[in-house]
Structure 1
Amino acid sequence: MASILALAGSNSSTSINFKLVQLTTSLVEGHDLRLLNMTRYPFPMFSEDDEKRKGYSNALVELKEDIRNADGLILSVNEHNGNPSAYFKNVLDWLSRLDRKFLEGTKVLLMSTSGGKRGGMGSLGVIQNMLPRFGAEIIATFSLPSFHDNFSEDGILDESLKAEHQKALQTFLSSLK
């Protein structure tokens, strides 16, 4: 049984990426799973001056430890103007200062969604290129376009997208065995 940490790269209380993560984790069986709601992790904007003056918050150290203790990470990143949100980039900046290889040995299912037809592909691409610098192994990716047309309380509505999501999840889970 593998340990999996799941989160969305958003601090919005109405995050559609968090909804995608919740759906994804509801499909995981037989693993130790922990779902984090990032609205509970407020971090100041990264500043070397603040880092020198104040050091690292307990919340940041705990988040890093949660990540390091996980075998796998399910992550869905939101998109602002074709890039990851300032919030999530800031989280990565803080984590990488605390421990440059904070994702060493961590297998990742990387996802994204947005209200648009590209499904957050710009953000997904940026993060897909960035995470390996911190030691992550991206196992599978999935992007859900047009969230409000393709998602409901019952899950992913479009059958081909649903199958693609399930395949990405199964590929990720198989890598943890």
Structure 2
Amino acid sequence: MKLLAFAATNNSQSINKQLVQYASSLVDAEVEILDLNDFEMPIYSQDREQQGGIPEQAQTFYKKIGDADAVVISFAEHNGSYTAAYKNLFDWTSRINMKVYQDKPVVLMASSPGPGGAQSVLGAATGSAGFFAMDVKGSFSLPSFFDNFDVEKGQITNDELADELATVMAQLG
């Protein structure tokens, strides 16, 4: 299985990147972890699209999803919603095909330093998944990241949460 995974943020020190790396290690797969910094583009607008077409970064992102057997995303939450970096990449890519995720099996996750576990953005992502051809196999929220994740070992320390994530990841096959 080819697994495509990424944190939906451009923060190089993202806790969601750490979570997606850990989650990906729970699956027997060939894993490619994307860095959204590699997909930076001008802010989407119809004017820009009409003037220059769809940037190569969006086309590459769409192709990577198409080439994968499954996708894992961990969402950072900015003011209760998607990060600007993810939203812009998603907006450009949706101009190629509204079915951005091409009916791939997907696990959606989110984490935050606080007790909410970025559940607002996770709810938005799961709630709209069907419109963008995500076959959501499960979702997972890791609250209070620094209380439940060992950064040095790169793993969840709370056994109940670790078991929950393992169960969700097993849904990918």
- The two structures have a TM-score, normalised by structure 2, of 0.94
Match of 2:132 in 1: 134
Say yes or no: does 1:52 pair with 2:27.
no
Structure 1 segments unaligned to the other structure (5+ residues): none
Deviations 1:95-144 (A, max 9, x none): 11111112122110100000110100000000112222111111010000
Counterpart-to-counterpart distance in 1, 2:37 and 2:92: 16
Counterpart-to-counterpart distance in 2, 1:54 and 1:136: 28
Q: Which runs of at least 4 in structure 1 moved beyond 6 Å after TM superposition?
A: none
Match of 1:25 in 2: 24
RMSD after superposition: 1.2
8 Å CA contact 1:117–1:146 kept in 2: the answer is yes
- Please give the residue correspondences for 1:1-177 in structure 2 after superposition, counting only pairs within 5 Å: 2-29=1-28, 31-152=29-150, 153-154=152-153, 155-171=155-171, 173-174=172-173
Counterpart-to-counterpart distance in 2, 1:136 and 1:167: 19
1:18 partner SS: helix
Deviations 1:60-102 (A, max 9, x none): 1111000112121011011011111122122211111111112
8 Å CA contact 1:71–1:105 kept in 2: the answer is no
Letter in structure 1 aligned against 2:59: V
Counterpart-to-counterpart distance in 2, 1:149 and 1:17: 14
8 Å CA contact 1:114–1:144 kept in 2: the answer is yes
Q: Percent identity?
A: 35
Aligned residues: 171
2:136 partner SS: strand
Structure 2 segments unaligned to the other structure (5+ residues): none
8 Å CA contact 1:41–1:59 kept in 2: the answer is yes
Q: What is the deviation of 1:28?
A: 2.1
